[in-house]
Amino acid sequence: MTAPPDSAVLPAAPDLATAVGAWLRHLAAERKMSAHTIEAYGRDVRQFLAFLAERFGAPPSVRDFVDCAPGDLRAFLARRRAEGIEGRSLQRALSALRSLSRAIARETGETASALGAIRAPKAARRLPRPLSPPDARAVTTTEPRAGEARDPWILARDAAVLALCYGAGLRISEALGLRRADAPVGAVEAVTVVGKGRKTRSAPIIAPVSAAVEAYLALCPWALEADGPLFVGAKGGPLSPRIVQLAMERMRGALGLPDSATPHALRHSFATHLLARGGDLRTIQDLLGHASLSTTQVYTGVDSARLLAAYRAAHPRT
């Protein structure tokens, strides 16, 4: 759980510092938000309160926060924009402030009306950058790293995690959250994973993914407990996501892939390649665990961009 900031760190009067701390605890305990999201929300609020402290000449109180004017918010967003902060991050900051405002309203009945008068900044919509099918298949094997001075079981482990990202569309956290008892091997045709917002879904497992996990288990030197993690680090403890990211970096070097080739890009590749082969959006939405179809629809833009690029490259009049 994220530790709430105290008044010595947070640029706020004691009553507002207490309210922020209670809000952060609520996000962790009740809303089940990830530690990363809570950290980002806390940082956004801290930056806004520092702005108000500078603007008002004193650390803001709950009353100051509730009474802030639309002009205060616009000035804050304008400053952040001038500092090079993109629209997506500004949207998140506004979302964090609105979340804090709702928490304060629940306790005091006071509402920061200015937050309702501000429209969220527009963010440029960035299309996911999937790998090509051959490259995606290559990073889920051990061959590109065959020359590394690493134990074979380590290479097999990394390949198995990446195979789950591409072959089942899992996030790293979802793959690393699997228990040994849930290993997708043998007759197991699906795994249950816990995604964002603590939502569970069933992810089908195809034969190459199952084979990659079996290869890892056959080589793993550690006795894995049924209720323990499926994937472990070099010393037998839980595997860190950073290790998987570093493995992908080595894959990029071996295969000459761009920096956009990350473990999460394999999840994008999973969705894009399914769509290109005729998969429907609703099914892909369920497989990815997206709460909204609009989130999944971004992959139609990827496929359209690919088709347009092929058209322009091949048409004799272009």
Note if 264 is an active site residue.
yes
Candidate list 41, 166, 216, 299, residue with the active-site label: 299
Is residue 122 part of the annotated active site? The answer reads no
Catalytic residue flag (residue 171): yes
Q: Of 88, 98, 150, 264, which one is the catalytic site residue?
A: 264
Alpha helix positions (H), 30-132: 35-56, 62-67, 70-82, 87-108
How many angstroms separate the CA atoms of 236 and 218, rounded?
Answer: 15
Instruction: Exactly one of 80, 92, 157, 171 is catalytic; name it.
Output: 171
Query: Amino acid letter at 312?
Result: R
What are the tokens at 266? 């394999």
Contact partners, residue 300, CB within 8 Å, separation at least 6: 275, 281
Q: Which of 92, 145, 267, 268 is catalytic?
A: 267
* Active-site residue, from 201, 252, 268, 290: 290
Kindly give, in sequence order, each residue whose CB lies less than 8 Å from that of residue 129, ignoring residues fewer than 6 positions away: 258, 260, 265, 268
Cα(67)–Cα(89) distance, integer angstroms: 24
Provide Rg for the chain, Cα atoms: 23
196 is catalytic: yes
By CB neighbour count within 10 A (0-12 exposed, 13-18 middle, 19+ buried), where does 226 fall? exposed
CA 220 – CA 111 distance, rounded (Å) = 56
Give yes or no for a contact between 121 and 87, defined as CB atoms under 8 angstroms apart. yes
From 46, 179, 196, 250, active-site residue: 196
Q: Could you list the active site residues?
A: 171, 196, 264, 267, 290, 299
